[in-house]
Amino acid sequence: MMNTACDVAIIGGGPVGASLALALRDSGLAITLLEARSPEGAPVDPRALALSYGSRLVLERIGVWNEIPQVTGIRTIHISQKQALGRAVLEASELNVPELGYVLPYHALHGALQHALEASKATYLTGAAVTQLSSETDGARIAFRHNGVEQTLNARLAVVADGGKLLESSHPPEITDYGQSAVIAHITCSAPRPGTAFERFSAQGPVALLPYNDGYELVWTAAHEKAQEMLHWDEAAFLAQLHQHFGDRVGEFLSVGTRTCFPLRLRRAPEITLAHTVLLGNAAQTLHPVAGQGFNMGLRDAWELAQEILRCKPEALGEAAMLAAYRNLRRLDRNAGIRFTDGLVRLFSNDLPLLSGGRAASLSLLDCLPSAKKFVARRMMFGANG
Ligand SMILES: Cc1cc2nc3c(=O)[nH]c(=O)nc-3n(C[C@H](O)[C@H](O)[C@H](O)COP(=O)(O)OP(=O)(O)OC[C@H]3O[C@@H](n4cnc5c(N)ncnc54)[C@H](O)[C@@H]3O)c2cc1C
């Protein structure tokens, strides 16, 4: 058994944990990042991420934005609902930003973060699966297995960015099961509108088309059972159903790539800090992807935690006052992001006639009121603290 120590131990080298390690790379602190997957064995994650303009700014500051290949900009977001009037269009030009957001593959972001980490001073261990986290009086104690050897790491601050598994049984999260899964795939069509993303709501759940390369990344939500069926429809049936569901805005759908299904739920840790410990990203809150907020919020968690760590006196790292300051910093944005996403799913995933009229009116109102549009777009770009 090997026993080592560091200032900050980050559990999970997904996009959020990796971003935190990079935000702290010049801090002079000893940072250790433990990632369960080994690079060779890691499956390619098929999801596409819509990043906000605010996330671009953070990724620029941590030095990875220009290293991400294959990014497509979003200049227009078109929001509508099936079988009802009312729509809203958000334009980057009206909001004085070059783009409202960006679409990129999860694995392209992951690759750029990995390269930057390898070049940084952080100790980065892959194939290092954490099995236990406990708190001691002066810090956190982490047990993990690396290269077949059981090891322990003592850290003044442990950051849990593992997506949510490690603390699931000791600190059960609050879970809202929406009864929905998302089917994702790359699609092409006869009349793509470059730079335009579409979000269309229906009683079955939302469907999003995110512009990417020669077509769109599709995120199509449906009840779990239906989503499983959709995976097995032949290509012609899938494209015809999508056309029926989405309408004519991008012409005929021509092809669909590999389809993958993700179950969707809101998962919210009861506390985002524990003794000498902070929970970040999906470990703190896993959101429905309806408004593409999950990673954007996780990145804001990472950025604000890094700022709090840099601000605090060295002896305060991981202590109660520092953890309380971080909780206060994140409260508004986290609660607003969860409410916004959860509210959208509940408001739009039903076919009650009274609500349908209200939704149409809200979309039309949003479209006509520049101040309301700016408010919504700023929330999506920068979060509630922006
Ligand atoms: C279909 C779909 C579409 C989405 N679209 C968007 C979008 O458009 N925009 C957006 O902002 N977000 C989106 N999201 C959400 C986004 O994918 C997540 O918010 C983001 O991946 C969270 O990153 P993370 O680093 O917190 O967790 P993860 O990506 O889950 O990474 C966790 C990491 O921890 C590692 N790990 C796990 N357990 C351990 C352990 N015991 N020890 C060590 N390491 C461990 C894992 O191997 C992994 O690398 C979407 C999600 C889904 C499902």
Which pLDDT score is estimated for 150?
94
CA of 236 to the centre of ligand 1 (A): 32
Question: What value does the CA radius of gyration of the chain take, rounded to a whole number of Å?
Answer: 21
Which pLDDT score is estimated for 356?
54
The Cα–Cα gap between 272 and 199 comes to 30
**CA 239 → CA 87, 187, 255, distances in Å?**
24, 9, 7
CA of 276 to the centre of ligand 1 (A): 23
The Cα–Cα gap between 159 and 122 comes to 14
Residue appearing with tokens 């700022």 = 307
CA of 316 to the centre of ligand 1 (A): 29
The Cα–Cα gap between 58 and 299 comes to 8
The Cα–Cα gap between 71 and 103 comes to 6
Average pLDDT, 10 consecutive residues per value, the chain (386 residues): 90 97 96 91 81 93 94 91 73 87 93 93 94 94 94 97 96 92 96 93 84 94 95 97 92 97 92 97 90 89 98 96 97 88 67 52 56 61 64
Give the residues surrounding ligand 1 with Cβ less than 6 Å away: 11-17, 34-37, 47, 49-50, 129-130, 161-163, 165-166, 182, 184, 219, 262, 281-282, 289, 292-296, 298
Which pLDDT score is estimated for 285?
96
Residue appearing with tokens 């509940």 = 346
* DSSP 3-state of 209: strand
* DSSP 3-state of 104: strand
Burial 192-215 (b: 16+ CB within 10 A, else e): bbeebbbbbbbebbbbbbbbbeeb
Q: Which residue owns the Cα nearest ligand 1 atom 3?
A: 289
Q: How many CA atoms lie within 13 A of 65 on its CB side?
A: 16
The Cα–Cα gap between 223 and 270 comes to 27
Which pLDDT score is estimated for 259?
97
Q: Which residue owns the Cα nearest ligand 1 atom 53?
A: 262
Q: Which residue owns the Cα nearest ligand 1 atom 41?
A: 130
Report residue 317 as tokens. Answer: 């790292």
CA of 286 to the centre of ligand 1 (A): 9
- Give residues with Cβ within 8 angstroms of 40, minimum separation 6: none
Cβ contacts of 60-68, under 8 Å, gap ≥ 24: 61/23, 61/303, 62/19, 62/22, 62/23, 62/116, 63/22, 63/116, 64/22, 64/109, 64/112, 64/113, 64/116, 67/112, 67/115, 67/116, 68/104, 68/108, 68/109, 68/112
Which pLDDT score is estimated for 58?
96
Inter-residue contact 254 to 136 (CB < 8 Å): no
CA of 15 to the centre of ligand 1 (A): 7
CA of 5 to the centre of ligand 1 (A): 27
Q: Is the dihedral of CA 72, 77, 78, 79 positive or negative?
A: positive
The Cα–Cα gap between 314 and 310 comes to 9
Q: Is the dihedral of CA 47, 111, 11, 27 positive or negative?
A: negative
Q: Which residue owns the Cα nearest ligand 1 atom 51?
A: 289
